Structures are given as C-alpha cells and as structure tokens.
Amino acid sequence: MKLIFLGPPGAGKGTMAVRVADAASIPHISTGDIFRYNIKNQTELGKKVKAILDSGELVPDELTIELVRDRLGQDDAKSGFILDGFPRTVPQADALSEMAPVDNVINFTLSDEEVVKRLSGRRVHPGSGRTYHILFSPPKVEGKDDETGDDLVQREDDREDAIKNRLRVYREQTEPLIEYYRSRGKLVDLDSSPAPEEVFTSLRKILSL
Ligand code: AMP
C-alpha cells in the first residue's frame, strides 16, 4: 500500500500516519520529522534548513526530492509506505510519480480557523516527540511531560506568525495538488474535524484495514 497523506498543517496527518503505519506494517515517512531530526542533531542538512523550518517556508524542491528518493530506496519502503508532508509542490509530485507511483492520496480537510486553534495549542516533549494540546489533550501537570516530567515546548513554527505563513504556503503551493491527484482519480477526501478515534475509523474503512 503506497499512500500520500495530504492536507494543511495541524489536520492530524502525522497522528493518523503513525496508526495506519502500525496497522498496515508499512513505514511512516515524514519529511518534516526528517528535517527536525537533522536540526536537532546539528547535521549539515539541519544547519541548512533550520531557518526555513522556523519561518514556515518550504525547503527547496531539489533537496527535498533527493531526501525522499534516498528514503524510498531503503528496503522497508519497497512494498509500501505512507508519505506525510510530501509532496508539497507540483514539481515534487511529478518527481514522485517517476520514483514510486502511489495507490491512494488521502486529503485531510480542515478549516483555517481550526488549524490555528490546533497548532497554537500544541506542545511537544522534545526528547520523545510526544505531543499534547493545552485544551484538547493536556498533560497531567501543566507544561510537563507525563512520562519524564521534562518541560514541554512549543515548536518554533507553531507560533502565530509562522502558523499564518505555513497556511499561506499551503494554500499557494500545496493545495494545487488536490486537483492534481483528483484529476488522476487517486484522491479521497477525509473530514479531519471529528475526534481522532472517529477520523481513524473512517480511514480504516477507506483503506480496508
Ligand atoms: P511538517 O512537519 O510536515 O509540518 O513540516 C515542517 C516543515 O518542514 C515545513 O514547514 C517545511 O519547512 C519543511 N518541509 C516538510 N516537508 C517538506 C516538503 N515536502 N517540501 C518542502 N519543505 C518541507
């Protein structure tokens, strides 16, 4: 099963990708996670992309495409994968169709207002990647990770200015992919506004999992 999860930031693509990857035994490939891992470990790639991620702009296509080409070339991705956050531009989608044509594209839909609400309340435990939401899924102790008690942080790109920029970038550069895949008969829309459990149930039906 080769899947793309498309949709605005904060629509729950990552959360659903983790669950589907587990249920279908395929890798979850998040370009955002790969960039953040490199930033955290201060690799050459990380140093190159940090300011771009902090601002909510997109990393250049060539760099991102090569990164995904490498990742899809690994053994665990041969029989299937979930791409979360890639492609984000038409050139990326064209490159992907040559590398590894996908079976289905799930289009997670969510209003701008809901995106801002979800992202601005998100808090992360930097050590593990565990995420919380100050309203919808708060930690047991305010500002602290449930398991370690470490401080939670807000992602630089979850601050209000960066959220607005990410949404603008999404509408301008990524949204055209909806028509791109719809016209190829691959797109399925999924309303992301209900609670995660309900979204996952709908997703299982779509994917026959
Ligand atoms: P995400 O975690 O998917 O929201 O991605 C976080 C950030 O990583 C984005 O705002 C971009 O700066 C960068 N990024 C992730 N995926 C891509 C991509 N396919 N193309 C360009 N930049 C990306």
Q: Is 50 a catalytic residue?
A: no
Q: Give the mutation target among 29, 34, 35, 167 for probing the ligand 1 site: most ligand atoms within 8 A of CB.
A: 35
Asked if residue 176 has pLDDT above 90, the reply is yes
Structural domain contains residue 153: no
pLDDT band per the 50, 70, 90 thresholds, residue 123: very high
pLDDT of residue 127: 85
Q: Is 130 a catalytic residue?
A: no
User: Could you read off the pLDDT of 55-88 as tens digits, one per residue?
Assistant: 999 999 999 999 999 999 999 999 899 999 999 9
Of ligand 1's listed atoms, the one at least distance from the Cα of 169 is 10
Asked if residue 7 has pLDDT above 90, the reply is yes
Written as one string, the DSSP assignment of 53-71 is HHHT-PPPHHHHHHHHHHH
Distance CA 159, CA 139 (A): 19
Structural domain contains residue 118: no
Among candidate residues 108, 111, 119, 74, the one with its CA nearest the CA of residue 4: 108
Structural domain contains residue 33: yes
Determine if ligand 1 sits within 6 Å of the CB of residue 155: no
Q: What is the CATH number of the domain that holds 172?
A: 3.40.50.300
Domain containing residue 29: 2-110+158-207
Structural domain contains residue 93: yes
Asked if residue 131 has pLDDT above 90, the reply is no
Which pTM was predicted? 0.92
Q: Is 13 a catalytic residue?
A: yes
Distance 58 CA to ligand 1 centre (A): 6
What's the residue count for the chain? 209
Among candidate residues 202, 161, 143, the one with its CA nearest the CA of residue 56: 161
pLDDT of residue 166: 95
Determine if ligand 1 sits within 6 Å of the CB of residue 27: no
Secondary structure of residue 86 in the 3-state scheme: coil
Considering the chain, what is the average pLDDT of its residues? 95
Determine if ligand 1 sits within 6 Å of the CB of residue 31: yes
Determine if ligand 1 sits within 6 Å of the CB of residue 53: yes
Among candidate residues 62, 52, 84, 58, the one with its CA nearest the CA of residue 167: 58
Asked if residue 126 has pLDDT above 90, the reply is no
pLDDT of residue 128: 85
Write down the catalytic residue from 2, 88, 118, 123. 88
Cα 96 from chain centre: 17
8 A C-beta contact, residue 34 and residue 83: no
Asked if residue 94 has pLDDT above 90, the reply is yes
Structural domain contains residue 152: no
pLDDT of residue 189: 98
Angle at 126 between CA 120 and CA 129, to 5 degrees: 80
Distance CA 44, CA 48 (A): 6
Structural domain contains residue 137: no
Q: Is 48 a catalytic residue?
A: no
User: Could you read off the pLDDT of 179-201 as tens digits, one per residue?
Assistant: 999 999 999 999 999 999 999 99
Number of domains forming the structure of the chain: 1
Structural domain contains residue 132: no
Compute the chain's Rg from CA coordinates. 17
Structural domain contains residue 115: no
